[in-house]
Structure 1
């Protein structure tokens, strides 16, 4: 049975039809529909149906871009054979730009472009069309997809990737050397006509450069372009589409080309000779002048190295290169002497430091110039025979002995006489001196190498006729060692020996030092003092390496018997003359454990109770210290109490017997005595410093008549007499020591004659008769002939 199907037909304004490129899913769907229609096979019946073949055509529309006509641009028409022309069908368009860019007449199916299209913005639009029955709202045909492709027109000019290019090329490059490649792109369709075919040409920059029309590579067009003649070039390149034909669009760019320098020019001196002068006193390194060779190259190609090729002054002068200015600086190399030579000639050469091998064949890349230098005469200071002097002297050299000599002379023709002196700023102790006439150095003080092994002094040489002309030279004086110091212990040694020590145990190793520095090095020997070597408790074993070991000689030591041993050891050196000293080693006897570790060395520790701990001992010690501090403070406070004088009133008058050995002095001679002693005899008992001076000789006091007789006074005077006899600071030779103590319960009540004037004359003075001889003896010892002056 034949079944009839309706097809949607798309009518095009163009006669060219293309198959629509579909997605894989669409292809599968449309392939199934197409096969079904071609075979007429239905799933409802298993029979093969035959029909007349009708083509299902997928079409592609083409539309020109940039259309500027007065009406909208017609695209094409949609139509189905189900359309009877009665307006019952409605055409609907969906997809890219439907309704905005593309408008369809729903009754006729005509499609128009509502706006101007730009292929460069979007070149392809995918749309879908369908026909719907207006009454039933059902699709009378399956939805169909088609493409509208925008046809390109030449509406874009070529554009370069850069508005301006920068390139460089070495000067003197050959013709055809590539400089840079420029690139221009055209937004038009390269697959449609010649709208995007670009051709390059040069508008500016001829005849120096050319451009490849297809690749845009710029090349040199002239040989041997010199940077020194012209360094910068500006080249304008044009890119034109349509293959460069008439009507094509074009764009331009600018290329700035710089010729880089190559070393194609040698240095050249602007003049053939130069003249300089130098005083003969110019020290080495003094610059005399500058010369410069010109080089038109730049950078490292213009770097120049100057040298002296020949001439009679090549060993007296030198030339160095100033890297900043590329100048040659003439300098003094050695000391000049006007009396020896007054004119020098130099041949100076300037050479490039980075020559280019390509241009060496053109000739040598260097230049030479003649330099003349004249020497000027000046009055020069004295010149020493050496730049410095080294003198060695033994440290036992005698004062006044000559230790060395310095020599200087006037370099001028006049040969002025010279005097020598020592700069005292370099010899503050004035140990050295110099004979001004001949420069001989001699000692003014003894030397001590151990105190100062080196002395650095400065000697000055001055012209006698012109003191302004002087020079100085350093003199290094080395003090040579002699063996004048004995070796001694390197440290203070204090060691211990265990009570349970065995004979032959090493308890200490001692070493020695020596302030001397013998040429063959130190070598020390150790041994016991002979008195201690008879029955020694310890022995000394010399280790032959400048150390010695202290060994025990017996088994066991007792702290209770001897807590400390003093072991004198003799140390000898091996230099001449041999020096030796005795060092004492302190050895304490200590209690040790079984492994020899010290536990206690105090002898008092043996008497302490075994049950007392260390904390208890510390507490007891603190209590004792606190008690001692309290006793000291109490004693100090008691001594500070003011003693009450015997006589507070000024009416208390005592006799103060003072004797003088000379005339005059008056009351000044009483300044040495403390009048407070007369008021308080107990204060005299205290030990006080005497304010008088120690006499050179002791003068005796003349005998005086006996004054009183009392046993207490006798004891008092005997005690005072003994104190004066034993006192190393004797009283002044012109004074009599007074005691002013009348004794206890004297029957005379007073010794003053003032009170006797008021008595009735019955005063008895016979009790003094027995004391007459005793006072006479005292007067003879202390008073002398001036004892009659009260």
Structure 2
């Protein structure tokens, strides 16, 4: 089968088609396919050997973007088996078969029905086959061939990254590279000149140029000045077909900005300036501005201003505002129109950043002269001193002069000045001031010990212009006078031991004085002993504002005297001296050998024992519980005794509650309700129980015995009085109120008792079952008590 290429349909491609056909005829021979055909006859088989057949074909081409009215002819398929009688059928399969490419199944002609774009698809792979139309059997093997889309120049160059923004320093050398631009062409770079691009500059000359092959943009002038022109817009064109006529083109814009370099020195617009400053301007305030211009920008225009000379260099200072690049003129010292009316300054402005490449364009600084005119203003009065300190004694009379302030009008007019006190605080009301002379006087009396210092503010204004006011602080110090007597620094708890020795220091005292050291630093101590010396204690002045209390005798007794009072006189060293007296209390205490206090009284003993408050409360609670329990037992016994119905036994030596003993035989039972006295023991028992059992005396006193004959004639009242007197004089009892219990009913009757108490026996018919489990125990106690009573009665 032979595949015949399409005829050239345009003059431009005629030569190419001719070359292709010649090349195909010379180099693409037939591909022959061997095929044996066997013919059967009767009796024998005849084998015919036919020559090999194959596809005859060459490269297919189809032009892109075909816009003709008829389908574009691509080529022709032809098999050697085709006799032209229509018995061969050609079939086309593969990419685009039946849609883009169609074939005439009888003639084998292939046409393209659609316009193709090489930039979308460069070639198509198809398969051709020839079959017998009658038998549908293949006459030739299937063959694969390619239809290649032939490129035409239908794509213009494009700059994919534009537009461009780029910078280049000003004053750059000619030919300095700025930027490289690149344009792309979608056409086939391997075929013709459709994708061969050439660059040219359409706008931006003569400042810039472009390389036609590489697209590199360069400066075309020497020392381009940013201050003359800063921005440039350069248009670059890219054209295909190597720039020939008929080629397609594309363009882009390159925005070029010249960056600044420090190639311009600063310049003051004027060589002479004049500035007006009023004399009332405050020190440290800004009084004016000055500026030097610089054509550069950014850090290249940074400026520093300096006062290089002039008679006002010590009065004014200049600084630089970094944002506005202005020189700020400030006042260093106050101005006085009456003393100096003008100043002259030479001010220099210089760049802070220099580029040595352009140093030949310098110097990068400039100088101007500034004349400052001082303006006269009406100023407030001026005090002769910035502050005043005055003194006045405490307790001074109202109206006492403290001091004088002075102010003057600094202006030439020299107006009169009036003074007054600003009553802003309570302290200002303690003083008055003479409006004409400025003399300050007291308005109240002062106590240095209460307020030692006062701060007031005095104002002064001109009579002609009261609105102009100046102020000055005045401190008034209150001086001390000796008006406070000395006194003890604190309350002293002085203790002397019973075993103290003569001359022993038992306490060191000191004193304080509300007056200052000039009137109270030296204290003198002495005793107010009256006409006779104190036999117990003395005082020694240590001459260091302290004094010592010393003992004068050996041994002190708490039983004889447990507290001593000592009157101390204290005087200060003021003029005139003042004195006061204080009473010291000295307690006598029992001490250990090493001087530690053992006890002074019951409370001190408990404290010295080291018992805490919680322990004392616990002990007291236990005692209360025991007392309550004991009282309950006693009440229980009394109740049990009273519940018995048998007669009571009266003892000759002792009685119980609500039992009365008579010495006569009259009265009987009717007299039993005549008395109700507390149970009394006989005198012998009272003598034995005279000492308290709850306090153990240090030395056990000797027992005193009295004849029975002396007690027989004493009645109950006298007996009690006697025992009370003995208790008051007894040193063994505690030094606080106590309960003394005695049991004495008087001398017994010779006739004996008529009471039924003698009938008490050790046996009792009392029923104790109501006590439950405790009944037997109390019954035993009652029997034991009865036996004791019987033995005592006997």
Into which bin does the TM-score normalised by the smaller protein fall? 0.5 to 0.7
The unaligned stretches of length 5 or more in structure 2 are: 7-19, 26-30, 36-48, 492-512, 518-545, 550-562, 564-582, 630-794
- Whole-Å Cα distance in 1 between the matches of residues 267 and 179 of structure 2? 35
Shift of 1:281: 2.1
* 1:87 alignment partner in structure 2: 86
Shift of 1:416: 5.8
* 1:233 alignment partner in structure 2: 232
CA contact (8 A) 1:284 1:335 kept: yes
Describe the shift of the 1:535–1:198 C-alpha distance in structure 2 as closer, same or farther (beyond 3 A).
Answer: same
Quick check: 1:276 aligned with 2:275?
yes
Task: Choose 88-97 or 428-437, whichever is displaced more.
Answer: 428-437
- Whole-Å Cα distance in 2 between the matches of residues 260 and 358 of structure 1? 15
| Partner SS for 1:591 | helix
* 2:369 alignment partner in structure 1: 370
Residues 246-645 of structure 1 aligned to structure 2 (within 5 Å): 246-323=245-322, 325-388=324-387, 408-412=407-411, 420-428=419-427, 430-432=429-431, 437=437, 444-447=444-447, 456-463=455-462, 467-475=466-474, 531=585, 534-535=588-589, 589-591=613-615
* 2:122 alignment partner in structure 1: 123
CA contact (8 A) 2:427 2:455 kept: no
- Whole-Å Cα distance in 2 between the matches of residues 603 and 340 of structure 1? 99
Shift of 1:68: 4.0
CA contact (8 A) 2:407 2:417 kept: yes
Shift of 1:188: 0.7
The one-character-per-residue Cα deviations of 1:716-773 (angstroms, maximum 9, x if unpaired) are xxxxxxxxxxxxxxxxxxxxxxxxxxxxxxxxxxxxxxxxxxxxxxxxxxxxxxxxxx
| Partner SS for 2:459 | strand
The one-character-per-residue Cα deviations of 1:119-142 (angstroms, maximum 9, x if unpaired) are 112212122233344444444545
The one-character-per-residue Cα deviations of 1:428-475 (angstroms, maximum 9, x if unpaired) are 5623555763666768443567x7787543222345676554310234
| Partner SS for 2:615 | strand
Quick check: 1:67 aligned with 2:66?
yes
CA contact (8 A) 1:455 1:477 kept: yes
Quick check: 1:244 aligned with 2:243?
yes
TM-score (norm 2): 0.54
Describe the shift of the 1:455–1:118 C-alpha distance in structure 2 as closer, same or farther (beyond 3 A).
Answer: farther
- Whole-Å Cα distance in 1 between the matches of residues 299 and 165 of structure 2? 23
- Whole-Å Cα distance in 2 between the matches of residues 356 and 601 of structure 1? 102
Shift of 1:162: 4.8
| Partner SS for 1:347 | strand
* 1:167 alignment partner in structure 2: 166
- Whole-Å Cα distance in 2 between the matches of residues 179 and 485 of structure 1? 100
- Whole-Å Cα distance in 2 between the matches of residues 330 and 83 of structure 1? 111
Shift of 1:335: 0.5
- Whole-Å Cα distance in 2 between the matches of residues 602 and 356 of structure 1? 102
Number of residue pairs the alignment of both structures matches: 509
* 2:113 alignment partner in structure 1: 114
* 2:183 alignment partner in structure 1: 184
- Whole-Å Cα distance in 2 between the matches of residues 226 and 515 of structure 1? 88
- Whole-Å Cα distance in 2 between the matches of residues 486 and 142 of structure 1? 142
TM-score (norm 1): 0.54
- Whole-Å Cα distance in 1 between the matches of residues 621 and 455 of structure 2? 55
Shift of 1:383: 2.5
CA contact (8 A) 2:417 2:463 kept: yes
| Partner SS for 1:159 | coil
Give the root-mean-square deviation of aligned CA atoms: 5.1
Describe the shift of the 1:413–1:68 C-alpha distance in structure 2 as closer, same or farther (beyond 3 A).
Answer: closer
Shift of 1:150: 1.1
Shift of 1:330: 3.5
CA contact (8 A) 1:487 1:515 kept: no
CA contact (8 A) 2:274 2:371 kept: yes
- Whole-Å Cα distance in 2 between the matches of residues 376 and 173 of structure 1? 53
| Partner SS for 2:293 | coil
Residues 606-755 of structure 1 aligned to structure 2 (within 5 Å): none
| Partner SS for 2:116 | coil
- Whole-Å Cα distance in 2 between the matches of residues 194 and 607 of structure 1? 134
- Whole-Å Cα distance in 1 between the matches of residues 53 and 112 of structure 2? 30
Shift of 1:76: 2.1
Describe the shift of the 1:78–1:314 C-alpha distance in structure 2 as closer, same or farther (beyond 3 A).
Answer: same
The one-character-per-residue Cα deviations of 1:679-720 (angstroms, maximum 9, x if unpaired) are xxxxxxxxxxxxxxxxxxxxxxxxxxxxxxxxxxxxxxxxxx
- Whole-Å Cα distance in 1 between the matches of residues 448 and 332 of structure 2? 43
| Partner SS for 2:144 | strand
* Higher Cα Rg, which structure: 2
The one-character-per-residue Cα deviations of 1:324-345 (angstroms, maximum 9, x if unpaired) are 5444343433101123211211
CA contact (8 A) 2:428 2:457 kept: no
- Whole-Å Cα distance in 2 between the matches of residues 145 and 441 of structure 1? 132
* 2:96 alignment partner in structure 1: 97
Task: Choose 406-415 or 114-123, whichever is displaced more.
Answer: 406-415
Describe the shift of the 1:473–1:151 C-alpha distance in structure 2 as closer, same or farther (beyond 3 A).
Answer: same
The one-character-per-residue Cα deviations of 1:28-51 (angstroms, maximum 9, x if unpaired) are xxxxxx99989xxxxxxxxxxx99
Shift of 1:272: 1.6
- Whole-Å Cα distance in 1 between the matches of residues 58 and 600 of structure 2? 131
Describe the shift of the 1:607–1:348 C-alpha distance in structure 2 as closer, same or farther (beyond 3 A).
Answer: farther
- Whole-Å Cα distance in 1 between the matches of residues 320 and 625 of structure 2? 91
Describe the shift of the 1:153–1:457 C-alpha distance in structure 2 as closer, same or farther (beyond 3 A).
Answer: same
- Whole-Å Cα distance in 1 between the matches of residues 477 and 108 of structure 2? 126
Quick check: 1:204 aligned with 2:214?
no
The one-character-per-residue Cα deviations of 1:477-518 (angstroms, maximum 9, x if unpaired) are 7899999999889xxxxxxxxxxxxxxxxxxxxxxxx99999
Shift of 1:160: 1.9
